Structure 1
Amino acid sequence: MTNQGFPRGLRILTAGEYRHVFEHASFRIHGKGLLALATPNDLGHVRVGLVFSKKNVRRAVDRNRLKRLTRESVRLRQQWLPSVDIVVLSRKGVHEIDSETLARQLHGMWRRLEKDVKRQPEHQQ
């Protein structure tokens, strides 16, 4: 059985790590109300950071729900996701999406990211 946890090693934690993804994003995956920026890493596993601002998602309960669903989506697909650092950003209206639709949307975003990473030649990283 594979490890399905979500330890600190799977998270982007520092401002410098977030800045690196923002400045060197090789992939941009758009979804309804969400944007994922990703850049390759040499760690051999995915890492994720979340930016759900008060400006776009007013209520804390909504921000927490979105973060929980995003983390769970990554946790369940971590062994299939490529070795990249991902920052997921919220956009206006994302809090109006129900949880089931958001989970499907995130799954589709991860599949598009996998395809985009496979298409990119190794030497362009």
Structure 2
Amino acid sequence: MFDYFFKKKLRLSNSVNFQYVFSKSSKKNTLEISILGRSNVLGYPRLGLSIPRKNIKNAHNRNLIKRLVRETFRLLQHQLISMDFVVIAKKNILNLDNKKIIDMLKSLWAHYHR
């Protein structure tokens, strides 16, 4: 039985973890969003978010995108390989509705399934 919580251990919490992913990572992307991933030895995936204010001006839009990314990760965490992920949102993401963003995220996460 799996639990589907987004616990603290599943988050990239400091800049050292982010630099680890940025230094050598595999990249899957669309025009609206990119997912960088790098293997870890922890046995479970971790998630970091980079939603720049430069790309998305309004805080409520940034928060909405963060919620959608965290929710798709939370639901798929047991199917993902053991990697550290950083999700980067781009300006074009504001042109999409929530359903399209979720579908796009699911298709990007599918590249990292076990």
Shorter chain as denominator, the TM-score bin is over 0.9
Deviation at 1:96, TM superposition (A): 2.0
Q: Could you list the per-position Cα deviations for residues 52-106 of structure 1 after superposition, in whole angstroms to 9, with x for gaps in the alignment? A: 0011111100000000000000000000000000000011211221110000000
1:31 deviates by 2.0
Moved over 4 A (4+): none
Match in the other structure for 1:52: 51
Aligned residues of 1:29 and 1:113 also touching (Cα < 8 A):
no
**Native 8 Å contact 1:29 1:36 kept in 2:** yes
SS of alignment partner, residue 87 of structure 2: strand
Report the equivalent of 1:19.
19
Q: 5+ unaligned residues in a row in structure 2: which ranges?
A: none
User: Structure 1 residue 5: deviation in Å?
Assistant: 0.2
The code of the aligned residue for 2:53 comes to K
- Return the index of the structure with the highest Cα Rg: 1
Query: Within 5 A, what are the aligned runs for 1:32-111?
Result: 32-111=31-110
How many residues were matched structurally?
114
- Report percent identity of matched pairs: 31
DSSP 3-state at the match of 1:21: helix
CA-atom RMSD in angstroms: 1.1
Describe the SS at the equivalent of 1:75: helix
Residue 51 of structure 1 aligns with an amino acid whose one-letter code is: S
Q: What is the distance in 1 between the residues matched to 2:110 and 2:31?
A: 15
Counterparts of 2:2 and 2:36, CA distance in 1: 27
- Tell me by how many angstroms 1:32 deviates: 3.2
Unaligned 5+ segments in structure 1 are 119-125
Compute the displacement of 1:37 (Å): 0.6
Q: How far off its partner does 1:21 sit?
A: 0.3
Task: Report the Cα offset of residue 112 of structure 1.
Answer: 1.8
CA contact (8 A) 1:66 1:95 kept: no
Aligned AA (1:2):
F
